[in-house]
Chains A and B, each alone.
Chain A
Amino acid sequence: MIKLINISLLKFSIVALAVVNFVEPSFAQENRVQGSEKSNGKRRIIRLVSPSKKVQPPSSDQGSLVLNQLELADRIRQTRFESSRREADQPVAETFAARASTPDPAPSNVVPMPLSYGLGRFNQPTNPPRNRGVNPTQQGTPAVAPDEFIYDGNDKGERVQVDQTWNVTGLGIEDTIGHFDTLDGKRIVAPSNRVAIYAPRFGSVRRVDGVFRTQLNLPTASFEENMPTVHARGEDAPNRVNQNLALNRMDGRRRASEFNERTRGVLADNVTHLFGFRNSFEAYEDLSIIRYGTYAKEESARLNVGLLSGTVWQDNLGLQAVVENVSPIIVRDLKGVEELVSIESEDGTAILRLLKVASKISARAGEFVDFTIRFDNMSRKKIGNVTIMDNLTTRLEYVADTAECSLKADFISKPNEADSLTLRWEITDPIPAGDGGIIRFRCRVR
């Protein structure tokens, strides 16, 4: 009997080890996090290293926390900056800097602020993970046919940075980020998760062939004709000379005695003060994590249903481990596309969490899609100058007058390089610790 149990445990260990080795390393490396994962509803914990502590390079036994050179340099840079600030013994301010007027979203000569950092490094792997994301509802990069989807959210490509004058750099198409100020003068950028909507669109390339057209395309043979010169022109002497006259007046150059401020031509901003907010929830967004900002375990089944668009990207067959007298373990759960990001900070570092959901997982051209963004101050201190930005892709057309915000905010929309709009919500008041709000807007799929 004992031998049988030992054999069963050995089988189970071998299968579990194989599953972990098969699934985990790529995930851990891609996201560079440490944390625990549960079988149903992946949970990812990001622990921020306190900038005041000395950064240690990862040891060899930290297999799941692999830092590349770039990230290590970034942390060391933050440490140096924090040390210099602490040496100055600067008192902690209780107010935030006044927000400047709406900046140009993509200035050309902006030097990124060295202290600008955020969670984007954690959420933007160089190669998007297959069938994994940070959204418990809809997210992911389909591995089979990414060209059939349109995306919105996250901070892919160049990392978004905001300098001291609120100039935003690196905001690419499809990016959704939020930036805010902390009481100690930091400006932090936090990306949202990525939403994928299945919306293929087709075009056509046409070629017309015909005998008539072929004849037209035949080039004309060269034609030469020697034309004799029929006219000779003699060289006549000039019969008129213009005399150069001296200037009869000289104006002195005076230096400018006053300087008028020159304002560059800027695009007119569509600034809207949002007053109304719909205090009810549609079915797609009626989730605890949207309503209260907390993930409810009992909604796992419903969230799993919301992953319908993601399941087609997965392999049809997942490994299954069956051990004697033990229920089968479906390994597919470990490869699920859902993931919940929870952020823990050692010293109460200010963190803004952005969660984005869409009303549909698929849409045809011309249909409307509602987006909801839940933002929360996850730290123990209040944050200010909170700004949420969404750079819409070409296929998404913002429907006018559909932007809402549960907090008092100014809404600004600007054309972007994708012939769509960059949406911007500037939250007027600071957000206390643990508090948050909701943003809604509607788009039409082109």
Chain B
Amino acid sequence: MKLQTCIHLLIAGWLIFGSISFGVAQDSPGRHMGIRGDMPPGVAADMARLGNRQLENYLQPVQIFAPEQTVIDVVSNDGFISTNSSVVSLGMFIGPVYRIKISNIPLRPGKVLYPSIEVINKLNPPMGSENDFPIQVVLTMNDLRQALDGNFVSKVIYLEDPQNAVPQKHVENRQPEIDVNQGVDPLKAARQLGRPMAIVRIGSRIPTATDLANFTFGAPDAQILPAPNPGQFNPQYIEPVEFKPLQLPKKLRNDSNRSASLPPKQADRK
């Protein structure tokens, strides 16, 4: 009886400490041990959240860029409501899988796609500017075309490592994109380039009226956020600019006639 109890305690301890160590291994940002890109929707985010308590109940702003002329709809009350825009900022929790609807696709009249977005990490912007720095998800026309042709598109959005950044000029609504072959885990590839932040899946499945609840993964409604203000100046610097002549105070310099804006005296020149 005692031996059996000891064995049970050992197994229970192994399970508990094993799960704790697994969680600690995921604690560092940018590393999600054991997460693969081909996992079912929601599993990667759950595992990431399991390893990092800071991801719990954190509303991460996500900005979605769809091709021009398209319209993005978001889930609301088990249905879709239109935003009448191809660019939308949404607040998403880490863990649920969110569905959006893209319609009015150019050159594909009547076609509709339902991409899913799964946020697996969070950003750490300066306080008060969380909405100004959302995770940017850019859906290209090629992505939509591939999905409409019957393929399944998996995109992993990653935070670029500044030490290994791609030297390219900024173009609005465009981000560096790398294609990997089949058999290559896109999450693993993204982890080598930076920190994976979100997984986007685009297929061509169309829900039925009775299947809509399962189709939206039971996720809460995404909160529509105001658009980021990219030109916003830092608040601490908003104060009147005072134009003063550049004159050094006398107590700081022996020579009161010398000014930092003036060239040195003739005697000092060589």
Contact = CB atoms under 8 A, between A and B. Distances in A.
B238 interface: yes
B211 interface: no
B258 interface: yes
B175 A203 contact: yes
B155 A205 contact: yes
Contacts of A248: none
A382 B133 CA distance: 46
Nearest to B161: A147
B241 A283 contact: yes
Interface stretch (A68-76, A251-259, A431-439): A431-439
A114 interface: no
A406 B260 contact: yes
B20 interface: no
A136 to B, nearest CB: 14
B124 interface: yes
A279 B150 contact: no
A271 interface: no
B173 to A, nearest CB: 11
Contacts of B253: 434-435
A313 B127 CA distance: 10
The winner among B167, B186, B233 for most chain A CB atoms within 10 A is B167
Interface stretch (A11-19, A115-123, A364-372): A364-372
B221 interface: no
Interface in A183-236: 198, 200-214, 217
A286 interface: yes
Contacts of A394: 162, 165-167
B176 A203 contact: yes
A431 B135 CA distance: 48
Given A198-B133, A202-B160, A406-B246, A365 B170 contact: yes
Given A212-B150, A308-B236, A407 B263 contact: yes
A212 to B, nearest CB: 7
B151 A198 contact: no
Given A205-B180, A312-B124, A279 B246 contact: yes
Nearest to A407: B263
A291 interface: yes
A144 B184 CA distance: 30
Nearest to A365: B170
B2 interface: no
B124 A362 contact: no
A125 to B, nearest CB: 18
A436 B252 CA distance: 12
Contacts of A206: 143, 153-156, 177-180, 186
A194 B246 CA distance: 26
Contact of A280 (B133, B243, B260): B243
A320 B185 CA distance: 48
A409 B137 CA distance: 45
Given A312-B124, A430-B268, A207 B179 contact: yes
B249 interface: yes
A204 B155 contact: yes
Contacts of A359: 234, 237
Given A406-B261, A418-B167, A281 B244 contact: yes
A145 B55 CA distance: 14
A80 interface: no
Interface string A384-413: 100000000111010000000011100000
Given A147-B194, A435-B258, A446-B170, A207 B239 contact: no
Nearest to B176: A203
A361 B126 contact: yes
B215 interface: no
B12 interface: no
B170 A198 contact: no
A203 B252 contact: no
Interface string A91-124: 0000110000000000000000000000000000
A141 interface: no
Contacts of A361: 126, 234
A29 interface: no
A439 B238 CA distance: 22
Contacts of B177: 203-206
Nearest to A433: B254
Nearest to B122: A145
The winner among B30, B37, B200, B268 for most chain A CB atoms within 10 A is B268
Nearest to B158: A203
B131 to A, nearest CB: 12
A208 B151 contact: yes
B87 interface: no
Contacts of A408: 263
B123 A145 contact: yes
A435 B151 contact: no
Contact of A382 (B160, B230, B260, B268): B268
11 contacts: A147-B194, A198-B126, A202-B137, A204-B178, A207-B153, A209-B154, A214-B182, A366-B170, A419-B167, A430-B270, A432-B258
**What are the 6 tightest A-B residue pairs by CB atom distance, in nearest-first order?**
A419-B167, A210-B151, A203-B176, A305-B236, A365-B170, A366-B170
Interface of B: 29-30, 37, 123-129, 132-133, 135-138, 143, 146, 149-162, 165-170, 172, 175-182, 184, 186-187, 189-190, 193-195, 197, 200, 228, 230-231, 233-234, 236-246, 248-249, 252-254, 258, 260-261, 263-265, 268-270
Given A207-B155, A406-B261, 16 more contacts: A147-B159, A147-B162, A204-B177, A205-B180, A207-B186, A210-B151, A213-B182, A277-B261, A283-B237, A308-B234, A362-B126, A364-B132, A384-B270, A394-B167, A419-B167, A429-B264
